[in-house]
Amino acid sequence: MMDDLPPVLIPWLIGVGLNTILLLIVAIVPKKLLTPAGIVNAWLLGVIIWGTLGWQGYIIVGFYFLVGSALTRLGSAQKEAAGIAEKRSGARGPENVWGSALVAAICALGVGLNQGSDFSWIPTPLLLLGYVASFSTKLSDTTASEVGKAYGKRTFLITSLKPVSPGTEGAVSLEGTLAGILASAVIAVVGWSVGLISGFGIVCCVVAAFIATNLESLIGATLQEKFNFLTNEVVNIINTFFGAIFAGAIALLIEATGLFNGFF
């Protein structure tokens, strides 16, 4: 039956079937990882990713979801006692899904558009780098925040380096920062291992994630309380956007120097 379908439809149909099965499993497991609305939105995201990037792109979003969910529950008793745990015991809603993955979904759709056209505004390798970098940035941010809240011995406000309580907007810790760098490197290596980015793309992702994550902390410390529209989800979108942009800018700069000809 698949042989009778246009080839372009096949990955989308596989995405529909696969995500329906996986998210049905997620819906019935005792430990809730997603709210009902979150499941619907995660299904849509998963279909988009599989339809445009196939299993390689799906590995990245799946890796982020599983590791990010586990990190949210890291030291949960301690964080709940301090009043700094994630709401709904870490179950992701639609705002969390798109706060984390909107930029990645746009990059993936860009790749899909490039595949169906002889002309592209942004080259596919740059979009793939942005895709991986956005998740590298978000996992770095999530890891730094959750590890810092659970295990950070000393937490400082990024603007003044004054000691503050864990969970304060704009707070950073050495433990969280180091864990965030490691997390960004791990997911970038996963992106390289499935062929989405080059080896040097790993470096681009890690550097971009570090810059964007600290920029996100700066926004949290200076602007988030002043503007109601700057919710955590909106700040996450800004964070991942800058991660993707910075990674692309670093790659283009390196390409322009001629040190890595053929990088793209």
262 is a domain residue: no
pLDDT single digits (tens) 137-183: 999 999 998 888 878 778 888 888 888 877 778 788 888 999 999 99
Residue 250 counted as domain residue? yes
**Splitting the chain (264 residues) into consecutive groups of 10 residues, what average pLDDT does each group show?**
69 94 89 87 96 97 91 65 56 90 97 82 94 97 88 82 80 90 97 95 96 91 84 93 96 80 56
What's the CA gap between 217 and 48, in Å, rounded? 30
Select from 129, 12, 141, 124 the least CA-distant residue to 60.
129
Task: Give me the helix-helix angle, 124-151 and 174-193, nearest 10°.
Answer: 150
Range 209-229 burial, b when 16+ CB lie within 10 A, else e: bbbbbbbbbebbbeebeeeee
Angle at CA 149, nearest 5°, toward 147 and 154? Answer: 95
Residue 228 backbone class (left: φ over 0; alpha: ψ -120 to 50; beta: rest): alpha
Q: How many domains does the chain have?
A: 1
Q: Is residue 223 part of a domain?
A: yes
Q: Does a structural domain hold residue 48? A: yes
Establish if 173 belongs to a structural domain: yes
- Residue 22, domain extent: 2-257
Residue type, 134: S
State pLDDT tens for residues 207-224: 999 999 999 988 888 888
Residue 260: what pLDDT? 63
**First CA to last CA across the chain, in angstroms?**
37
- Phi and psi at residue 156, in whole multiples of 5°? -125, 150
In a domain, 124, yes or no: yes
* Residue 263 confidence (pLDDT): 54
Q: What pLDDT does residue 259 have?
A: 66
pLDDT of residue 5: 66
Of 97, 74, 101, 99, the C-alpha closest to 86 is: 74
In a domain, 191, yes or no: yes
CA 192 and chain centroid, separation: 16
Contact 142, 109 (CB under 8 A): no
Q: Which of 69, 66, 118, 108 is nearest to 92 (CA)?
A: 69
Q: How far apart are CA 155 and CA 84, in angstroms?
A: 14
Q: Which residue type sits at 105?
A: A
Torsion of CA 192, 197, 203, 204, to 10 degrees: -150
CA distances from 191 to 123, 196, 237 (A): 17, 5, 20
Helices marked H in 194-258? 199-222, 232-257
* pLDDT score, position 32: 78
